[in-house]
Structure 1
Amino acid sequence: MRVIRGRGTTPDTDRAVTAAMLDQTGATGEPAFRAWTPHRQIAFGRRDARADRYDEAVAAAESHGFPAIERSVGGRAVAYTGATVAFAYAVPLDDARTGLDDRYEAATTAVVRALRSLGVHARRGEPPESYCPGEHSVQAGGKLSGIAQRVRKSAALVSGVVVVTDRDEIAAVLDPIYDALDIPFDPDSVGSVDDAGGPADPDAVCRALEDAFVGDAERDIEAAEDLDVEGAGDRT
């Protein structure tokens, strides 16, 4: 399995790394995985961008020192502090119409297993009024992780976020953002790996996720900065 480590030099380049990974999985049929720490940002979803007070949400993000970006898939605003971990698992598909639930189930199980290997008593689900609310979430003293999925003709991307540390900072910036977006949000619903008894170490979380998703498969390790990202997202 291809394993991509590290991040792109800019937020745009970093997103292109994941897009290129998905493209290449669709073209070659080889699965790929990456877990990394994205640049500091608030990633808004498509529905967020259509909200009446979206400009206020963006202003709230930037006033807290978080650049605002818009991602191409669904979900609600997510905060990355620079120590927050993201993961992405690209899976080849024979039939894009099948397997959605199975991929969610496998990914949720992998995240729970990874966090438990770090001493966190993680379990499925999320507290009420959580950030980026969704059925496929993991909690321990608050929401730690949310999982989403993007399906293309020949490959699917199962991706998510894990809050490692900076719980208070994330709650503080998301509170006015969710207020502007008119989405119920309880700042106390935010959890983190370190508050739940795990390490305040993003690299340790990345390696635990990699081990859980990749398992015993042989790893072909590549650096994110070495990927050809030109035209990424246009081929799958």
Structure 2
Amino acid sequence: MNDSKTLLNQPEWRVIDQSSIGPHFQALQSFAMDDTLCAAVGSGESGAVARSWVHDKTIVLGIQDTRLPQLDRGVDYLREKGFKTIVRNSGGLAVVLDEGVLNLSLVFPDSGQKIGINRGYDAMWELIRLMFPDFSADIEAREIIGSYCPGSYDLSIGGRKFAGISQRRIRNGAAVQIYLCVSGSGSERAKLVREFYRLAKGGQETKFDYPDIRPEVMASLSELMEQPLTVPDVMLRLLQTLQKLSGRIYSDSLRPEELLLYEGYLERVTERNNKVLFL
């Protein structure tokens, strides 16, 4: 973990907290934000950034999900359940976002191309472990078979997954992103995604091996820690941890020059999303 600690020990952390903006804040805006921050951090115009965000009832699909033979049936089902659907610009498969899911992005400068994929994942894993020093449970990083959006850096406790990590790299900037199921029912979220895949596959054989979801392997941190946790609780832990890791943290928002970049990235991800989902 030495490399991950080096990544986390930034001279200062610029914190952009968008965890309490409300339901009008759309997930596509978040992906445009991270692309913007990648470009700003990669160019040296900004130091390392920690961004937090929450979105109301949204299913974020991966590119492979858009190749499902009956995608429209699956999307219609999600809409009936009150969920918006978008396609993200980083890897992975379908995940659930709602008011009990906190998303974090760590954006690092990588002008020397020295931050390997695993090193970025290790940094996020280490951050989450440092945020919960008072809990005796061991937070593992390994693929949880039967979870939605499975990957080698699924974060779990006792074999039940509560978080997944992805990465996005643009212009010498690296964004490591995680969704943390803080509260609510992990299994209920998994049941929603399982039904989406059932309908979207339509009983047909597919070239890509989509996950066979087992809801019992998904849980929230509140369920796993057996105590009520909220997004503000976890946000406080994040800020306290970053303060210990760095000499300085400060709250910020997009700067004027970044807002111009953001508008371009938002237009790009929106057009791409609409094209893929045939909206």
- The normalised TM-score by structure 2 is 0.74
Distance 1:119 1:65, change over 3 A: farther
Cα displacement (A) at 1:143 = 0.5
- For the pair 1:127 / 2:144, whether they are aligned, the reply is yes
Q: Report 1:61-210 matches (<5 A).
A: 61-96=78-113, 98-117=115-134, 121-141=138-158, 142-167=160-185, 168-179=187-198, 180-181=200-201, 182-197=210-225, 198-210=227-239
Structure 1 stretch displaced more, 101-110 or 81-90: 101-110
CA contact (8 A) 1:6 1:224 kept: no
CA contact (8 A) 2:147 2:211 kept: no
CA RMSD of aligned residues (A): 2.6
Aligned residues: 234
CA contact (8 A) 1:34 1:210 kept: no
Matched with 1:13 is 29
Distance 2:117 2:190 in 1: 31
Provide the identity percentage.
Answer: 22
Computing the radius of gyration over CA atoms, which structure comes out larger, 1 or 2?
2
CA contact (8 A) 1:136 1:147 kept: yes
Structure 1 stretch displaced more, 146-155 or 123-132: 123-132
Return 5+ residue gaps in structure 1 as ranges. none
| AA in 1 matched with 2:34 | T
Cα displacement (A) at 1:24 = 1.6
Distance 1:78 1:140, change over 3 A: same
Matched with 2:41 is 25
Distance 1:187 1:96, change over 3 A: same
Structure 1 stretch displaced more, 53-62 or 207-216: 207-216
- For the pair 1:2 / 2:21, whether they are aligned, the reply is no
Distance 1:233 1:211 in 2: 31
SS at match of 2:221: coil
The structure with the greater share of residues assigned to helix is 2
Matched with 1:232 is 265
Structure 1 stretch displaced more, 162-171 or 141-150: 162-171
Distance 1:188 1:56, change over 3 A: same
- The normalised TM-score by structure 1 is 0.87
